[in-house]
Structure 1
Amino acid sequence: MSETIDAGRDFTRSSGALRLLLSNEFGLAVLIAVAFAAFAVSLPGFTSPFSLFTIGRQVGIDTMIGLAMMAVIVTGGLDLSVGAIGVCAAMAFGWMSQAHGVPLTLAVPAAILFGAMLGFINGYAVVRSGVHSFIITLASMSIFFGVMIFLSQAQAFNALPPEVTALGKMRLFGKVSVLLVITLFVCCALSLFYRFTTLGRRMLAAGANPRAAELSGIRTGRIITACHMLTGALAALAGLMLTARTGAAVPSMAGHLGQDWLLPAFLAPVLGGTLLSGGRVSVVGTLLGAAFVTIMTSGLLLMRVGEFWILACLGLILLLAVLTDRLRQTMLRARGLI
């Protein structure tokens, strides 16, 4: 009897170890360590305090962008308007704080709520129309951006309160950006949200099997709308963080129509193990995915690799990540681990 129990424990340990080795998080941690070590050896200034601060600050922003996309992918949806929402929220923040002198303690939450409202518009349109979120958010991306350009006359808000720029430049222990600390706090909050709250678990259930969720009493339409609202709020927070980094709210801060955010928005969660079909998220994986992309981009830029080659490399990484995830799922199913 004891031999049977011991054999069962050994199998459990081996299955757990195999699951860890095949997880996205473990693979990303190894890739980050290898890439960081390679750049540290080949580029003398890569590990300087300023370089580490810059990388950490960018990791914080890219992770927040990835979390915004992750929040809607959880139900199998997509949001191509994350960049447009982020820029609109940042411009709204600039309009409130610079043009009307609204205190930061009110302007920041108001901008985040504004982003959530734009997300609500997306979610409501998806639920009411029955059209896939890809089409709805493709249209809203142009609508949000166009209305923002019309209302702002494409003018930047570059006289923001000094506390905004100070936050973007603030360092902890001489190397760690406060923006990265904010992102880590949001990551912890989201992990607890998906694991322990009723709404978070319903979001996962609606993404895993919408029909079964409906039969169990979950209003999937409301859940989808809530996911888009969470995406809008996180995109707004990413826009505010980018504003703190640059010291200004600029209409082109996320590229034309916010398209510069699309690649990091997809790369971070997909590399981290969030399923495009919905039902599974990995907050830690999204953080690691953003860190890997930022380290690779920073290292290649310091090596003076052309930006177009870097974009091609990131696109290839995204494709390989999707194919690797399919292979990983196949291996786990073959061993009966999922």
Structure 2
Amino acid sequence: MPTHDTSAAEPFEEKRLALQAGPPRSRMFVSNEFGLILLIVFFVIVFSLTTKGFTSPFNLFTMGRNASINIMIGLSMMTVIVTGGLSLAVGAIGVCAAMLCGYTIEVMQLPLPLALVSGLALGAALGLINGFAIVRTGLHSFIITLATMSIFFGLMVFLTRAEAFRNLPPEFSSLGKMKLFNYVSPLLIVTVIIALVLTWLYRLTVLGREMLAAGARPEAAELSGIHVGRVTVLCHMLSGMLAAVAAMMLVARNGAAIPSMAGQLGQDWLLPAFLGPVLGGAVLNGGKAPVFGTCLGALLVTLLTSGLLLLQIGEFWVQTFLGLLLLVAVFMDKARRSYLAYRNLA
């Protein structure tokens, strides 16, 4: 049986891996996270000098509370991008979970913990439907979630008659208004804890490594014994649950479960959902889970939104700027991948 001599290829492979690794300090300076930290510091200085009240305790508390929700929305999308997919239904799933939570509290008179669990369970169940439909049909997640976005939101409006649930327990609403050390919202603490759990999942668990492998090279993952279809379903379930968490935070902030809390069909969540992961370094082809980068990207979006509004720039122009930022981030990601492929570092 013929054998292949790999001795000649080994030095080249070692050299390629050494180049890809690079000095740790150099890799840190060219990372997405380092660039985002510089941008955050830069805009904090700019807005502090050009606006009144940007660094006031109230505005810092408000930005932290809004950032916690935006980060959670971004993490919800990131868990799907890990597999090379997309989920346009994160907003619709979040609203459905929030409305179920409000219904179980106001109509069914369930205790708050059970109501929260029911909302999280519905988010995971709707994510399961998305993942199962994608795996069984073989269609791209963009098509499936575009359809389920309308289906989920339409059913929610029909079942609730588009009525808000406002008679929520005072301790739930007070959670969104509570201040720790006069600056920090408890919602931000919850977000940090969930981000740490996700970091642990992707870096230290077998399931997390399977998710990354299934997104990076699905065919190779299948050959190595990973059930890519099962992993895809689990990622969408996790995305649905995180979208539900974001919606619960929004309910705590607003003090009510409102059908329009994420805009028509949940479309108001799409821009922050994509901006956080893309700015944070998520690879749209899958295989990478930049949890810390996603948090920084969502924080930058929150900071820019707050600063531009304080400059009395119209909300339409703020959305236009964020859309352009997303487009630039996608182009830069494409250029980065082309460079890595050209240098044989991809």
The TM-score bracket by the shorter chain reads over 0.9
The two structures, once aligned, show a CA RMSD in angstroms of 1.6
Alignment pair present for 1:306 and 2:314 = yes
- For residues 285 and 12 of structure 1, what CA distance do their matches in structure 2 show? 20
1:337, distance to aligned residue in structure 2 (A): 4.8
Give the aligned partner of residue 188 of structure 1: 196
1:6 is matched with which residue? none
CA–CA distance in structure 1, aligned partners of residues 282 and 187 of structure 2? 23
Provide the rounded CA distance (Å) in 1 between the counterparts of 2:332 and 2:186: 34
Q: 1:146-185 alignment to 2 at 5 Å?
A: 146-185=154-193
Structure 2 counterpart SS, 1:45: coil
Distance 1:142 1:30, change over 3 A: same
Which segments of 5 or more consecutive residues in structure 2 lack a partner in the other structure? 1-18
TM-score (normalizing by structure 2): 0.92
CA distance in 2, matches of 1:323, 1:125: 30
Amino acid in structure 1 at the alignment position of 2:197: A
Query: Alpha-carbon deviation of 1:191?
Result: 0.1
Q: Percent identity?
A: 58
**In 2, Cα distance between the equivalents of 1:219 and 1:12?**
29
Counterpart contact for 1:75–1:224, Cα < 8 Å: yes
Q: Distance in 1 between matches of 2:333 and 2:84?
A: 16
Cα distance in structure 2, aligned partners of 1:12 and 1:151: 54
Maintained 8 Å contact 2:20/2:345? no
| Pair 1:54 & 2:62 matched | yes
TM-score (norm 1): 0.94
**1:176-255 aligned within 5 A:** 176-255=184-263
CA distance in 2, matches of 1:334, 1:12: 12
Deviation at 1:281, TM superposition (A): 1.3
Match of 2:13 in 1: none
Query: Aligned with 2:259: secondary structure?
Result: coil
The letter of the residue matching 1:85 is I
Deviation at 1:177, TM superposition (A): 0.6
Output the amino acid matched with 2:244. A
Unpaired stretches in structure 1, ≥5 consecutive residues: 1-10
The equivalent residue for 1:7 is: none
1:100 alignment partner, one of 108, 113, 117: 108
Residue type of the partner of 2:65? R
Counterpart residue identity of residue 275, structure 2: L
- The aligned residue for residue 281 of structure 2 is 273
In the TM superposition, what is the alpha-carbon distance from 1:336 to its structure 2 partner?
5.4
For 1:12 and 1:157, locate their aligned partners in 2 and report how far apart those are by CA, in whole Å. Answer: 53
Aligned partner of 1:15 in structure 2 is 23
Q: Residues 234-278 of structure 1, C-alpha deviation per residue, up to 9 Å, x if partnerless?
A: 000000000000000000000000000000000000000011100
Q: Distance in 1 between matches of 2:153 and 2:183?
A: 35
The reply to whether residue 292 of structure 1 matches residue 300 of structure 2 is yes
2:92 maps to 84
Match status 1:131 vs 2:170: no
